[in-house]
Amino acid sequence: MDKSLIKLKVEERTIDESAKPLLERTLEEGIETAWDRLEKQQPQCGFGQLGLCCNRCSMGPCRIDPFEKDGPKRGVCGADADLIVARNLLDDLVTGAAAHSDHGREVVETLLMTAEGKSQGYEILDKEKLYTVAKEIGITTEGRNDTDIAKDIALSFLEEYGTIKNSIDLSKRAPEPTQDKWAKAGILPRSVDREIVEAMHRIHMGVGADYANILLHGLRASLSDGWGGSMMATEVSDILFGTPEIKESWVNLGTLKEDMVNIVLHGHNPVLSEMVVKAVKEQEMVDLAKQKGAKGINLVGMCCTGNELLMRRGIPIAGNLLNQELALATGAVDVMIIDYQCIFPSITQVASCFHTKIVSTSEKSKVPGAVHMEFHPETAYDTAKNIVKLAIETYEQRNPDRVKIPAKPVKMMAGFSVEAIKKALGGTFQPLIDAIANGSIKGAVGMVGCNNPKIKQDYGHVTLGKELIKRNILVVETGCAAIASGKAGLLLPEAADLAGDGLKSVCHALGIPPVLHMGSCVDCSRILVLAAELAKALNVGIDQLPLAGAAPEWYSQKAVSIASYFVASGVYTVLGLPPKIFGSKNVIDLLTSGLNDVVGATYAVEPGPVAAADLIEKHIDSKRKDLGI
């Protein structure tokens, strides 16, 4: 490919400076990445984009003519555009809710095994949270030892997935006016598996034809994720591995080291990655790495398991979704360990251009071309050590001439759990509430979600983030959004200089950045808890607060679930890419306006970050006016 064309493509694809030289390498050497595959997919199917293709049953696939023409207006079964679009959306949403919640279940099962003495290498690290959660869900703590309490929490949480309790305990964390809205709309979440199974039932042919009824169940299922599966993942991970505290670390592809064994931890569940962190500290491992000529072992994260490690351990993070193939293209990764979710099936192809080994660890998530070393809590530590040994052996096969680590890492601050934020504020949320009331901080936005090659990598997050802080709107982030901000330097206290005067002075006084990293995607539950705390302090519902959500570069079904539980909880949420709903005007109307009467919030779609900031500011201004501040 022509050099100038390569340069042009690179500039179109990312704003991440550490990614650019590697993108250049992939284009020069013909290593295929997600961007190349997106190009090859053009033009993408218009029916699919509009949500008008129904492939559920073997009378189909059917598609609806989106124009006022003579084409089909109903599928073979008689489903119209509204129903087909609604069923497709519900399918996406509960796929995401299932992914979060099944991850949560594995963490809870690990707590149970730990309490029963059946796991290897785990312990209860945050006793304070153990007691807080126990009291909250009605488990006696007096005179009992930690493992008995932990066992009761685990068993109680496992029942949140089933049908025995018929209501999710942690959803009672929401302020009463919000819970009242759910009750009135008939969307109080009962249990995680139940809502998801019922959703799969509802999208079967012939189970209802009312699009609004289908979508309402979507909200209910999303609440079982946000206030259920995801929240349990967060809380139990905190109990096992510690609640995050504010700390400094490093981010971007420059976190890989030329003279060290590089292990990238990619995926989502800290149950795996925490054990690898333990294993690399073993003197035996460090000595072995040195014997093979390395200076030591360098562990870096990728995507959300990276966020989990960053938040709790300060482990540097190499990048977000679109960095995964580029990390491999450095030729410096010895082993990439994966569990599940957001792992491109192509990574073994990229790895095969170098000495790199991909190690899959979950029975649920095998990848052709990967070495499979199955991970179970009972043998977790031994498996972690074996993987680290494999990485050290693989380091010997590295070709130094192929190594290209292009940039210096950027410093960042992370660890802003709700508890850490409260501590930074002096032990109470009152200073934050005062700052919001006096207008120094206008409001807050939860910016979440992914990268998507349809948008220049990180551009959506970084541009919207800068626009919001300039307008004195505090930004809290999770997932790949937070990693994008880290790479752009927005997670540093110095970034407060880019903020409006009010937010700037608050950040300077507290020594915090204007964009706060709150964790992985399941940790969007931390954003819900923060919103609930603020609402309760003001005696209002979440929908009355000057808050908004944003997902400027989302791609995944999990993001559909997150956006939905934000909206269902009363948080107006702006998406940077359109969901596949534009084939139904009725569905668009319900989601972008009708839901206001049901949950006090709606979705919006706005691809332009500045225009999205305008929408959000207008919304926040109107909420402030309603509150009389």
CB-neighbour burial class of residue 409 (10 A; exposed 0-12, middle 13-18, buried 19+):
buried
Q: Is 54 annotated as a binding residue?
A: yes
Handedness of CA 140, 144, 149, 155 (dihedral sign): negative
The crossing angle, in degrees rounded to 10, of helices 270-281 and 230-241 is 20
Taking the C-alpha atoms of residue 408 and residue 538, their distance in angstroms, rounded to an integer, is: 45
- Structure tokens, 72: 């089909």
CB of 460 to ligand BF8, least distance (A): 12
Q: Is 303 annotated as a binding residue?
A: no
- 521 binds ligand BF8, rule: CB under 6 A: yes
- 526 binds ligand BF8, rule: CB under 6 A: no
CB of 626 to ligand BF8, least distance (A): 32
* Spatial strand order in the sheet of 357-360: 371-372, 357-360, 335-338, 261-266, 297-302, 317-319, 247-251, 410-414
β-strand partners of 263 = 299, 335
CB-nearer residue toward ligand BF8: 331 or 579: 579
The crossing angle, in degrees rounded to 10, of helices 479-487 and 459-470 is 80
CB-nearer residue toward ligand BF8: 85 or 480: 480
Kindly identify the residues of this chain, within the stretch 533-592, that bind ligand BF8 according to CB under 6 A. Answer: 556, 558-559
- 321 binds ligand BF8, rule: CB under 6 A: yes
Which alpha helices (DSSP H) does 116-191 contain, by range?
127-136, 146-161, 176-185
CB of 339 to ligand BF8, least distance (A): 11
CB-nearer residue toward ligand BF8: 463 or 561: 561
Contact in structure between 550 and 559 (CB atoms under 8 Å): no
- 252 binds ligand BF8, rule: CB under 6 A: no
Name the residue with tokens 């498996």: 383
# of chain residues touching ligand BF8 (CB under 6 A): 14
Taking the C-alpha atoms of residue 360 and residue 353, their distance in angstroms, rounded to an integer, is: 18
H or E element in which residue 603 lies: strand 603-605
H or E element in which residue 440 lies: none
CB of 461 to ligand BF8, least distance (A): 10
CB-nearer residue toward ligand BF8: 320 or 360: 320
Q: Is 353 annotated as a binding residue?
A: no
Which alpha helices (DSSP H) does 1-126 contain, by range?
3-13, 20-29, 34-40, 46-50, 81-115
CB of 492 to ligand BF8, least distance (A): 21
Taking the C-alpha atoms of residue 359 and residue 499, their distance in angstroms, rounded to an integer, is: 42
Which residues have a Cβ under 8 Å from the Cβ of 494 and sit 6 or more positions away? none
Which residue of 319, 479, 514, 546 would you call a contact of ligand BF8, by CB under 6 A?
479
Extract the runs of DSSP E, i.e. beta strands, from 279-360: 297-302, 317-319, 335-338, 357-360
CB of 271 to ligand BF8, least distance (A): 15
CB of 551 to ligand BF8, least distance (A): 9
Count Cα neighbours of 586 within 13 Å in the Cβ-side half-sphere.
13
Which residue of 62, 256, 299, 304 would you call a contact of ligand BF8, by CB under 6 A?
304
CB-nearer residue toward ligand BF8: 81 or 265: 265
CB-nearer residue toward ligand BF8: 268 or 623: 268
CA nearest to 446, candidates 601, 308, 314: 601
- 342 binds ligand BF8, rule: CB under 6 A: yes
CB-nearer residue toward ligand BF8: 178 or 557: 557
Q: Is 524 annotated as a binding residue?
A: no
Q: Is 450 annotated as a binding residue?
A: yes
- 418 binds ligand BF8, rule: CB under 6 A: no
Which residue of 270, 443, 449, 453 would you call a contact of ligand BF8, by CB under 6 A?
449
- 447 binds ligand BF8, rule: CB under 6 A: no
- 527 binds ligand BF8, rule: CB under 6 A: no
Which residue of 450, 474, 499, 535 would you call a contact of ligand BF8, by CB under 6 A?
450
- 480 binds ligand BF8, rule: CB under 6 A: yes
Amino acid at the residue 129: K
Binding-site annotation: residue ranges: 45, 53-54, 57, 62, 77, 268, 304, 342, 450, 480, 521
Residues at the site binding ligand BF8, with contacts judged by CB under 6 A: 268, 303-304, 320-321, 342, 449-450, 479-480, 521, 556, 558-559
Annotated binding site for [4Fe-4S] cluster: 45, 53-54, 57, 62, 77
